[in-house]
Structure 1
Amino acid sequence: MSNVMIVGATRGIGLELTKQYADEGNNVIACARDTDAATLLDELASGSDNIKIEQLDVANPSSIEAAAGRIGDDTIDTIIIVAGAVGGDPVNQQSIDNIDIEEWHRNLDTNTIGPLLVARAFKQNLVTSGNGNLMILSSQLGASTWPMGGMYIYSTTKAAVGKVGKILSLDWAAEPITVSIMHPGWVQTDMGGPQAEITAEESASGIRNVIEGLSKEDSGNFYKWNGEIHPW
Structure 2
Amino acid sequence: MANVAITGAGRGIALELARQHVAQGDRVYALARDPAGAEALNALAAQSNGLLSVHAMDVTDDASVKAGAADTGAAPIDLLYNVAGILGTPGAQLESVDWAEFDQSIEVMVKGPLRVLLAFLPRMQAGSKVMNISSQLAASTWPYGGFYDYGAAKAGLNRMMRSVAIDLKDRGVIVGLIHPGYVQTDMGGAGADITPEDSATGVRKLAEGWTLDRTGGFYKWNGEEHAW
Alignment TM-score > 0.5, same fold: yes
Counterpart-to-counterpart distance in 1, 2:144 and 2:6: 30
Q: Deviations over 1:142-175 (max 9, x none)?
A: 1112111111011101110111110110111211
- Say yes or no: does 1:25 pair with 2:21: no
In the alignment, what sits opposite 1:121? 119
Range with bigger deviation, 114-123 or 66-75: 66-75
- Say yes or no: does 1:226 pair with 2:222: yes
Q: How many residues align?
A: 227
- Normalised to the residue count of structure 2, the TM-score between the two structures is 0.97
Paired AA for residue 116 in structure 2: V
Paired AA for residue 182 in structure 1: I
Matching of residues 123-202 of structure 1 within 5 Å: 123-127=121-125, 130-202=126-198
Aligned CA RMSD, in angstroms, stands at: 1.0
Paired AA for residue 148 in structure 2: Y
Contact map agreement 2:27 2:52 (CA 8 A) in 1 = yes
Counterpart-to-counterpart distance in 1, 2:206 and 2:90: 31
In the alignment, what sits opposite 1:103? 101
Q: Which runs of 5+ in 2 are unaligned?
A: none
- Normalised to the residue count of structure 1, the TM-score between the two structures is 0.95
Deviation, 1:121, is 1.1
Paired AA for residue 45 in structure 2: A
After TM superposition, the runs of 4+ consecutive aligned structure 1 residues lying more than 2 A away are 68-73
Contact map agreement 2:29 2:72 (CA 8 A) in 1 = no
Counterpart-to-counterpart distance in 1, 2:205 and 2:73: 28
Q: Give aligned-pair identity as a percent.
A: 41
Deviation, 1:70, is 2.3
- Say yes or no: does 1:43 pair with 2:39: no
